[in-house]
Each structure stands twice: as structure tokens, then as C-alpha cells.
């Protein structure tokens, strides 16, 4: 999921940026999703001691747990390591301290990508298990990869639809998840994966843009075939309960995707 207006994003921010944008960006607007990520638009006040005494300081423990989960994914997850290698080879190396942020978010989302700061957000209050953190990292790093390598313009609704299609395609949908979500039945198994991808992309687009459902659907349909068949940098769709993640990581070396 992505959530900002790129009108004022300098070209250099697509690389490994250590500086904030030179032009201020208005973050106090729900149009670009900042209502879902409150820590993106205001400084969070220190937690009073009374909150700890009354048991209300759990968000700090959640943040630490999230950061540990992210670190383990960086060190142990083959698919996250593949994305790190792909980003590095594309000229956008990822620094875990600079480009990944565990934050408290709205209950509707588990993560996001902020291209203004070139930063992936993991919602520590909604993504607590390591498997969920891995999925969020993969989804958002697909957006980061598209932004780095494909000159992605998030103001363009077709560009947004394309990257959401790719993220859903590579990071989320499988036969089982589609069945659980009601995207398929015994009568339309052939379209199972495509239906799941379209529905996931639609949900993500509506969550972060002030557009109608028809506008989002039309954008998805315009770009679907091309973006659905673009499997970079994984080279495959990941099947549940398979070793596809390990295979994708092992194949990455042939394309120069080395994370270290």
C-alpha cells in the first residue's frame, strides 16, 4: 500500500536518500493516506510514566517486537533477502535503520510505503507475527522496487493500480487465500488468482486515494494484463506451502540480486 502525493518529490529521492525532501509536503490530509499513519504527520508525544503504571505503555513493547521481527526477516527470510538484493542491484540499497520504520497505525492497515522519505512502514499494532511482518515487507518492498526502477508516479492512477497489482500478485494471493476471501469457487478456479489480485489491488487503492470504486476498477482493468505478467524481481508467483521463496532467492544470483 502506498500513501503519499509525489508532486514535490525530487528525482534523487528514488535513490538511497539520507535527506528529507527539499520541498515541504502537506501531510495533514486523508487523500494520500496519512490519516491511516498518524506518526507520519505529527510528532508522537512521550508516553507518560502513569501509562506504564496503568499498563498502557504496550505500544513501545510492540514496537520493539516489530523491530526484532524485521531484523530476523532481513537476516533469515529468503524472499526479503531477494528483495534487498534486487533493490541494491537497481541502485537503491536498503539500510534497515533508515528505510524501515515500525509505527502505530490505523487499524485498517498493516503497512505502507512512503516514497517521499523512501521508507517502508510496518504497523506494529497490527503486524505482530513474524510471518505477517515478512508479508508486509515483501508487499511494500515491491512498491519500493517499482519506485526505484520503473519511474513510478503515484499521482498517476494507472501507475498506482499497476504497483498494487504487482504487490498483490507477488506477495499475497494463493488459491487458499482466494477461497477464504470469497474470490473463487469450484466453478471459476481458472480465474482464482486473477480475481484475488484484482480485489486486493482494489482494496488497497480505495484505502489510500479519494477515488470512486469505478475509477479504481477501470484503472486496474486498463493495466492488468501487463502488470499481472510482470513478475520482477521474483520471477514467479509464490505458492502457499511450497519452497518457491527459497527457489526465487537461489535464482536471484543469476540476475545479480545479491543482498550482501
Which residues are part of the catalytic machinery? 140
- HEC profile of the chain: CECCCCCCCCHHHHCCCCCCCCCCCCCCCHHHCCCCCHHHCCCCCCCCHHHHHCCCCHHHHHHHHHHHHHHHHHHHCHHHHHHHHHHHHCCCCCCHHHHEEEECCCCCCCEEEECCCCEEEEECCCCCCHHHHHHHHHHHHHHHHHHHHCCCCCCCHHHHHHHHHHHHHHHCCCHHHHHHCCCCCCCCHHHHHHHHHHHHHHHHHHHHCCCCHHHHHHHHHHHHHHHHCCCCCCCCCCCCCCCHHHHHHHHHHHHCCCCC
Pick the closest to residue 59 from 9, 104, 11, 7 (CA basis): 104
Pick the closest to residue 234 from 124, 146, 148 (CA basis): 146
Q: CA-CA distance, 257 to 68, in Å (whole number)?
A: 24
Q: CA-CA distance, 140 to 153, in Å (whole number)?
A: 15
- Specify which residues 121 forms β-bridges with: 101, 112
Amino acid at each position: 500500500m502506498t500513501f503519499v502525493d509525489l508532486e514535490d518529490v525530487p528525482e534523487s529521492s528514488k535513490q538511497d536518500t539520507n535527506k528529507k525532501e527539499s520541498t515541504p509536503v502537506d501531510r495533514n490530509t486523508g487523500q494520500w493516506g496519512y490519516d491511516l499513519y498518524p506518526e507520519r504527520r505529527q510528532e508522537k508525544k512521550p508516553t507518560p510514566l502513569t501509562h506504564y503504571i496503568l499498563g498502557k505503555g504496550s505500544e513501545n513493547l510492540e514496537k520493539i517486537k516489530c523491530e526484532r521481527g524485521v531484523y530476523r526477516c532481513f537476516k533469515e527470510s529468503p524472499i526479503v533477502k531477494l528483495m534487498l538484493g534486487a533493490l541494491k542491484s537497481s541502485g537503491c540499497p536498503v539500510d534497515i535503520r533508515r528505510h524501515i520504520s515500525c509505527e502505530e497505525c490505523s487499524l485498517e492497515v498493516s503497512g505502507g510505503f512512503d516514497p517521499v522519505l523512501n521508507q517502508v512502514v510496518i504497523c506494529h499494532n497490527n503486524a505482530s507475527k513474524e510471518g505477517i511482518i515478512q508479508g508486509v515487507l515483501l508487499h511494500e518492498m515491491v512498491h519500493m522496487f517499482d519506485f526505484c526502477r520503473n519511474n513510478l508516479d503515484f499521482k498517476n492512477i494507472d501507475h498506482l493500480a499497476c504497483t498494487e497489482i504487482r504487490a498483490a500478485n507477488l506477495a499475497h494471493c494463493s488459491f487458499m487465500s482466494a477461497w477464504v476471501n470469497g474470490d473463487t469457487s469450484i466453478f471459476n478456479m481458472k480465474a482464482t488468482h486473477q480475481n484475488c489480485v484484482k480485489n486486493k489491488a482494489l482494496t488497497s487503492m480505495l484505502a489510500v486515494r479519494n477515488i470512486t470504486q469505478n475509477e479504481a476498477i477501470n484503472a486496474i482493468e486498463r493495466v492488468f494484463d501487463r502488470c499481472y505478467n510482470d513478475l520482477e524481481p521474483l520471477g514467479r508467483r509464490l505458492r502457499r506451502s511450497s519452497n518457491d521463496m527459497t527457489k526465487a532467492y537461489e535464482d536471484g544470483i543469476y540476475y545479480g540480486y545479491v543482498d550482501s
